[in-house]
Structure 1
Amino acid sequence: MARILFADTSHPKPYDYQDLAALAMGGTESSLLRTARILQGNGHQVTVFQQARELADEQHGVRLIGPDQLDNTQAPEHVVVLRKFPQLLRFQQQFPEARLHLWIHTYKNWEYVLKRGFRLKQPWQLITNSHTHAAHCDRLLHKGFFGRLYSLFKARVPIHTCYNPIPAELAANPKTERDPNKLLFLSAPNKGLAQVLRTFQQINRHLKGLQLYVANPGYRKDHPEDIPNVHYLGALPAEQVRNHLATSLCVFYPQDSFAETFGLIYAEANALGTPVMAHDIGAAREILHPNNPLIKAHDNYQITKTLVHWQRQLPEVSYRKEFDEPAIYQQWATALSLNSNTTH
């Protein structure tokens, strides 16, 4: 059994498993909770630290704590910090014997290589959420000029990939009737929504029956444009998201301005048998089902032709076992070397 501490020092509100079931939640936070539960279910002692939490709680065997409880926490063997590299320094000071892992969910700029210049007592490693993401980080940290320079006197930063978990029960949902004119956008507004809306308006002139439904995960607010046949759903709890996915023709995501490092919506939609209309950017090709074709975001003719074809017959997409609990556990067990240094 390993003692594992996940540390979220940036989310502005506490969140838990009840919120995961009932409220809109960002992909990073939902993936953290699901991953913590998977590790706990495999015999490990898992604690989730949240900077915004005041009261400790325990749900599904996972302990949820805030700053007031951190000093009284048994020293973890592993600290997995979300997002923020400087927090590795903070947790190294508090738990000097712990192995440090930085779990990131976004692409970084070239300046990220400068993180290799910091001196940490314990070696640290990077955890990404797709192999596409890992390859990008490897280029930044090791392949450029500064990366090669650092490698002359510093060890390479180990990089592991752990996919975001996708609940297997998505694939067990009963079949529902789809609306062939219903398109769905399920991402924060900064993830290419403006481009998607422009494309929809152009295509809607020819396919006049199409209706676009736009949901927001809740952590990014925006002032929606008033556009004919566009309906704003706001922030939706998970069950409503699944219902919309199951009754839509597709997820409508023809944009090439924002690259997903994983793309929960790719995997969740496919698990429900719903294709995603996406450009070959970021991890789309890796995460989408092999039967899910990709489109060019600026090719309105191709997008229109594909929609018409899908209205007649959808591609057969389904749940991928790469994202189920046994697979996710094995990925984390490898990244944290749990099989070699712990016993159950």
Structure 2
Amino acid sequence: MTSAVAVIDPVCLSPYEFAYLDEETGTEAAILRLAGALSNDCRFQFYQAGRTDVTRDAGGLYRPLDMLKVEDLTSVSNVIVVSSWKTALKVSKLGPGCPVFLWMHSPPGRHNRRMGDALAAAGIEIVCASESLAKHVHAFLADANDKLPAISSIPDPVADELKPDTTPRDIDRLFFPGAPHKGLSEALVKFAALRRTRPTLRLEVAEHDNLVWPENTVPDGVHFLGKLSDKARIEIMRSSLCVFHPQSRFAETSGLTLAEANAVGTPVLAHAGLGSNDEILLTPGQCVDTNDLSAVGARIDDWRRDFPAIATAPGHRLSEVAAAWKRKLTPQIVAEPTRTATSGATPERAALPNGPSR
């Protein structure tokens, strides 16, 4: 018997569907991969803030968020709310009679410090995308709340089929997988310093140059590739010496891209002790003090001479992630709906935020 799961995403800016999984990245891709992996066990209903139409595919049924009715919640076994703790509370108060999970991929803002008591009282569990994020959320809430909700972690999934292959590696090619706010400016400065004594190195960046370097001269050896599809990004990882991620300020809370690099056998050069780096990049030598440019250069030189054997961190494969979520989404006995629309009456709508209120 399959169970119905409602996935409520009040923060997405545009709709996403399983049929177009190859076009998605980040949180949206993680949600869709999970739905696909659990399709034999769960029937997914998606309610998305950025959606205006109703459609269905192999991943489930997709509706606009403002179409969500109270009756929809009384027929599901579990509810997963993406990012917004305020929406999770509103859903809980509607009395769905089933577990409500708050799936977090980034730290809560400072103004949300008191959310712990409210989530604990409602019995809402926070599921974080990494152990480091779970520890951060626990510490963030501990001092300001009398009670804390259950806080756990399940990583975003790496496709089971991502494995090393025979793609030739270019030992002069470094790859920064995009997102300017994730320390690209720092990575460019450090690359320029490395290249002074290693002039054949190239850094390829999965971004448009006019978005990240609008008023300055692009450093020698840097090439902006524009936005890449997931497939193209993986192909470049396979042929690169490493994913070059030496920034020391932005804490990766999910680190899916880093895990995917390791899955195809590509090392990642990342800052030690920052975010989820150390829990994902378990093969020794990948996490260093990236503010020590001599250490960064030495690691690059080591890998150019003797390419390392890289392993994927346990628990990150899609089959493992799906199994972890399946344990949480075990079918539960759902009470008969207590509120139903009378014949000819307008169904009651759930009062949920339309925007990214967190």
Amino acid at match of 1:89: L
- The whole-number CA distance in structure 1 between the counterparts of 2:189 and 2:114 is 38
The answer as to whether partners of 1:168 and 1:319 remain within 8 angstroms in 2 is no
Pair 341,259 (structure 1): closer, same or farther in 2 beyond 3 Å: farther
1:45 paired residue among 43, 46, 50: 43
Amino acid at match of 2:321: I
Q: How do 1:1-344 residues align onto structure 2 when only pairs under 5 Å count? A: 1-21=2-22, 23=23, 25-41=24-40, 43-67=41-65, 69-71=67-69, 73=72, 75-94=75-94, 96-109=96-109, 111-118=111-118, 122-142=122-142, 144=143, 146-147=144-145, 150-151=146-147, 156-171=148-163, 174-216=165-207, 221-224=211-214, 225=216, 226-280=218-272, 281-336=274-329, 338=330
Pair 340,288 (structure 1): closer, same or farther in 2 beyond 3 Å: farther
**1:50-83: CA deviation from partner (whole Å, max 9, x where unpaired):** 1111222222242222135433746323221111
The worse-fitting range, judged by mean Cα deviation, of 225-234 and 110-119 is 110-119
Q: CA deviation at 1:339?
A: 6.6
- The whole-number CA distance in structure 2 between the counterparts of 1:320 and 1:138 is 23
The answer as to whether partners of 1:291 and 1:315 remain within 8 angstroms in 2 is no
Q: CA deviation at 1:19?
A: 3.1
- The whole-number CA distance in structure 1 between the counterparts of 2:251 and 2:200 is 29
Pair 247,119 (structure 1): closer, same or farther in 2 beyond 3 Å: closer
The answer as to whether partners of 2:49 and 2:66 remain within 8 angstroms in 1 is no
DSSP-derived class of the 2:166 partner:
coil
The answer as to whether partners of 1:79 and 1:99 remain within 8 angstroms in 2 is yes
Pair 86,235 (structure 1): closer, same or farther in 2 beyond 3 Å: same
- The whole-number CA distance in structure 1 between the counterparts of 2:206 and 2:10 is 26
Pair 175,90 (structure 1): closer, same or farther in 2 beyond 3 Å: same
Identity of aligned residues (%): 27
Q: CA deviation at 1:333?
A: 2.9
The worse-fitting range, judged by mean Cα deviation, of 193-202 and 54-63 is 54-63
Aligned residue pairs, count: 327
- The whole-number CA distance in structure 1 between the counterparts of 2:140 and 2:333 is 30
Q: CA deviation at 1:107?
A: 2.3
More RCO (CA 8 Å, sep 6+): 2
Pair 204,258 (structure 1): closer, same or farther in 2 beyond 3 Å: same
Amino acid at match of 2:99: R
The answer as to whether partners of 2:157 and 2:317 remain within 8 angstroms in 1 is yes
- The whole-number CA distance in structure 1 between the counterparts of 2:51 and 2:331 is 32
- The whole-number CA distance in structure 2 between the counterparts of 1:139 and 1:191 is 23
- The whole-number CA distance in structure 2 between the counterparts of 1:233 and 1:298 is 26
Pair 170,326 (structure 1): closer, same or farther in 2 beyond 3 Å: closer
The answer as to whether partners of 1:161 and 1:331 remain within 8 angstroms in 2 is no
Amino acid at match of 1:55: D
Pair 123,313 (structure 1): closer, same or farther in 2 beyond 3 Å: same
Amino acid at match of 2:200: G
**1:23-58: CA deviation from partner (whole Å, max 9, x where unpaired):** 3x33111111111222223x1111222111122222
- The whole-number CA distance in structure 2 between the counterparts of 1:58 and 1:288 is 37
CA RMSD, aligned part only? 2.4
DSSP-derived class of the 1:116 partner:
helix
Amino acid at match of 1:85: W
Amino acid at match of 1:141: L
Q: CA deviation at 1:20?
A: 2.3
| TM-score (ref. length: structure 2) | 0.84
Q: CA deviation at 1:184?
A: 0.4
- The whole-number CA distance in structure 1 between the counterparts of 2:200 and 2:230 is 27
The answer as to whether partners of 1:262 and 1:284 remain within 8 angstroms in 2 is no
Pair 119,250 (structure 1): closer, same or farther in 2 beyond 3 Å: closer
The answer as to whether partners of 2:55 and 2:63 remain within 8 angstroms in 1 is yes
- The whole-number CA distance in structure 2 between the counterparts of 1:33 and 1:61 is 7
- The whole-number CA distance in structure 2 between the counterparts of 1:311 and 1:11 is 41
The answer as to whether partners of 2:98 and 2:332 remain within 8 angstroms in 1 is no
